């Protein structure tokens, strides 16, 4: 129990998707918990200033002004960044880092973190993702398998609300679903044509963290039905999509066990040489630069993958001169990400008598069909494909001004189909982050150096995806098909992972099967930093499941006096 204002049972560093889940689970179990957030406070609904604005109420009708792009050359590249959402992204100048190799690090520093601006895709990993790296020789085995995490997937899905359909796919197991958003007519055509032609390729309705038909547990959270506005990254006043602000943090607060400390920049985790355990966290006030030590029995590090690496690397003691838990020298190594470089689109004739209603905030998913359970290609890993169909705005016309052009805008144009890849990448020791030897930020904390790049495996995967996307769009009946490789550097996927990976052997990993540091077991890491490999599915659902599992294990171990 707390003995004063700086002593707690548990400290959670970070209030985003995984940090919010750590807070919820710990507080529900009666653990007095402090959540440290380096950014400002954001209250659900009250602090969503653009949530209900129409385009003409925005200064530039939603377009990003040139000055804002010039001031934020990295952050302004992010998907979802706009005049209406910029307040939930950092300003580049405020948070520098050093790019040894090009890496676009996208961040959102506020209570709720990037849970306010995430993509919301929620696919489960298949059983193969946990074993493929070791079986196929491009990594180490996970210390857990699908059966270990499956009940925690269900636990999370029921609480956050995930829409989708039970499709029975080996590559993407079914979960606890609310009704999905329906296919439009061309999406249904695409799904049927691909399934009929290939037999083993499936375009299905997206599994997305949206409340299509809320259940009692969601109403108890104060959330309501998704209105299909597709304005999610402004913050949703209806709570229609899952975020820490709308869901887990208010739920934890109702227990009376939660304290949230915004504007708390974590300098390092404190280590007690006498007990062989972490004793607390050293925090710098973001505004006053005052330093405070907070104490706790257990610490969850959920600062988002690269910041989690930074904090652990900066947590130096006589026992750990190279970073907390870093006995094997691997802390900060095996950083990985998702490969988003390839995309495709084409136009399809017909269906002019049909349209769609609402702004579907989800996308269709073409489940992975490469290297599923066996090695069959000249590259390792697989890829998920996101896809959808839409009608262009404005009927075709050669006019660009005048009455004919105006009349054309009142009629919908032809149907198009798009696709883009989300490819698995190989965790490599050479892909790493480290602390800069001399450069520091405004709080005196060393800047992070990023050294991450693509490799030949990625290039082979991109070439295969582009070939297959072209073929699948042709099967669907498209014409004027184009495929692209945008050659963007790593980072814009916003799925950075690794550096503090899980594993069975302390010689090759930092965390055990419960996400505890091998060398400091009262410190848990359950955000993207813990990932042993990337898989090809969107990772946030797995972060939440791993967090819930680890938090309940931590409470059980505290009760046994093991922590």
pLDDT digits (tens, 9 = 90+) for 154-206: 999 999 999 999 999 999 999 999 999 999 999 999 999 999 999 999 999 99
Output the six-digit token pair for 289.
Answer: 């630069």
pLDDT at position 65 over 50: yes
pLDDT-based confidence at residue 521 (cuts at 50, 70, 90)? very high
CA distance 202 to 174: 14
pLDDT at position 8 over 70: yes
Predicted confidence at residue 401, as pLDDT, reads 87
The answer to whether 43 touches 51, Cβ cutoff 8 Å, is no
Predicted confidence at residue 511, as pLDDT, reads 98
Predicted confidence at residue 393, as pLDDT, reads 83
Predicted confidence at residue 406, as pLDDT, reads 84
Percent of the chain with pLDDT over 90: 94
pLDDT at position 129 over 80: yes
pLDDT at position 263 over 90: yes
pLDDT at position 453 over 90: yes
Predicted confidence at residue 231, as pLDDT, reads 97
pLDDT-based confidence at residue 2 (cuts at 50, 70, 90)? very low
Q: Please state, as a whole number, how many other Cβ atoms lie within 10 Å of the Cβ of residue 310.
A: 27
Predicted confidence at residue 1, as pLDDT, reads 38
Helix (H) or strand (E) holding 522: strand 520-525
Predicted confidence at residue 394, as pLDDT, reads 76
Predicted confidence at residue 240, as pLDDT, reads 98
449 vs 405: which has the higher pLDDT: 449
What is the rounded average pLDDT of the residues 113-142?
96
Closest CA to 307 of 8, 6, 3, 18: 18
Instruction: Quote the crossing angle between the two packed helices 540-559 and 146-160, to the nearest 10°.
Output: 100
pLDDT single digits (tens) 495-515: 999 999 999 999 999 999 999
Residue 110: DSSP 8-state:
B
The answer to whether 240 touches 225, Cβ cutoff 8 Å, is yes
pLDDT single digits (tens) 347-362: 999 999 998 888 999 9
CA distance 457 to 453: 11
Which residues contact residue 320 at a Cβ distance below 8 angstroms, ignoring those fewer than 6 apart? 271, 326, 327, 519, 520
Predicted confidence at residue 398, as pLDDT, reads 75
401 vs 192: which has the higher pLDDT: 192
pLDDT at position 283 over 50: yes
| Helix ranges (DSSP H) in 345-486 | 403-409, 456-475
What is the rounded average pLDDT of the residues 479-497?
97
CA distance 495 to 339: 9
pLDDT at position 56 over 90: yes
């Amino acid at each position: 129990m707390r003995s004063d204002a700086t002593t707690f049972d548990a400290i959670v560093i970070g209030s985003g998707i995984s940090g919010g889940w750590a807070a919820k689970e710990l507080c529900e179990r009666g653990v007095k918990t402090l959540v440290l957030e380096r950014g400002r406070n954001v209250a659900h609904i009250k602090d969503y200033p653009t949530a209900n604005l129409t385009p003409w109420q925005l200064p530039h009708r939603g377009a990003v002004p040139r000055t804002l792009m010039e001031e934020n050359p990295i952050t302004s590249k992010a998907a979802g960044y706009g005049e209406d959402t910029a307040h939930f992204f950092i300003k580049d100048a405020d948070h520098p880092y050093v790019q040894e190799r090009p890496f676009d690090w996208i961040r959102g520093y506020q209570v709720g973190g990037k849970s306010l601006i995430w993509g919301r895709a929620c696919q489960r990993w298949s059983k193969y993702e946990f074993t493929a790296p070791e079986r196929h020789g491009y990594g180490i085995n996970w210390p857990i398998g699908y059966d270990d995490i499956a009940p925690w997937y269900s636990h999370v899905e029921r609480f956050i609300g995930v829409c989708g359909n039970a499709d029975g796919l080996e590559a993407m197991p079914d979960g606890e679903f609310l009704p999905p958003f329906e296919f439009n007519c061309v999406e249904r055509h695409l799904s049927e044509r691909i399934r009929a032609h290939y037999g083993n390729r499936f375009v299905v309705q997206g599994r997305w963290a949206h409340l299509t038909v809320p259940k009692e547990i969601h109403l108890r959270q104060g959330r309501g039905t998704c209105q299909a506005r597709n304005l999610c990254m402004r913050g949703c006043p209806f709570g229609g999509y899952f975020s820490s602000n709308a869901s887990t943090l208010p739920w934890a607060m109702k227990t009376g066990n939660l304290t949230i400390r915004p504007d708390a920049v974590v300098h390092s985790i404190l280590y007690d040489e006498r007990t062989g355990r972490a004793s607390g966290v050293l925090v710098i006030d973001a505004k006053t630069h005052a330093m405070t030590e907070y104490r706790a029995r257990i610490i969850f590090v959920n600062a988002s993958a690269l910041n989690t690496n930074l904090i652990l690397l900066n947590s130096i003691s006589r026992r750990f001169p190279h970073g907390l838990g870093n006995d094997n020298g691997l802390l900060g190594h095996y950083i990985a990400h998702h490969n988003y470089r390839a995309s495709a689109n084409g136009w399809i004739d017909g269906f002019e008598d049909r349209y769609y209603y609402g702004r579907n905030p989800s996308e269709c998913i073409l489940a992975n069909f490469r290297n599923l359970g066996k090695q069959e290609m000249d590259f390792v890993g697989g890829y998920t494909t996101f896809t959808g169909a839409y009608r262009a705005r404005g009927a075709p016309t050669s006019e660009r001004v005048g009455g004919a052009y105006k009349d054309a805008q009142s009629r919908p144009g032809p149907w198009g189909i798009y696709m883009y890849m989300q490819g698995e990448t190989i965790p490599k020791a050479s892909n790493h982050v480290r602390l800069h030897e001399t450069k520091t930020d405004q709080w005196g904390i060393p800047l992070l150096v990023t050294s991450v790049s693509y490799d030949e495996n990625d290039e082979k995967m991109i070439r295969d995806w582009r070939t297959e996307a072209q073929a699948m769009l042709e099967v669907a009946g498209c014409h004027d098909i184009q495929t692209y490789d945008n050659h963007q550097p790593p980072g814009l996927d916003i799925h950075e992972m690794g550096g503090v990976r899980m594993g069975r052997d302390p010689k090759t990993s930092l965390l055990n099967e419960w996400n505890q540091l091998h060398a400091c077991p009262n410190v848990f890491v359950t955000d993207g930093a813990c990932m042993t490999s990337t898989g090809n599915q969107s990772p946030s659902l797995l972060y939440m499941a791993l967090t819930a599992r680890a938090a309940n294990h931590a409470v059980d171990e505290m009760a046994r006096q093991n922590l």
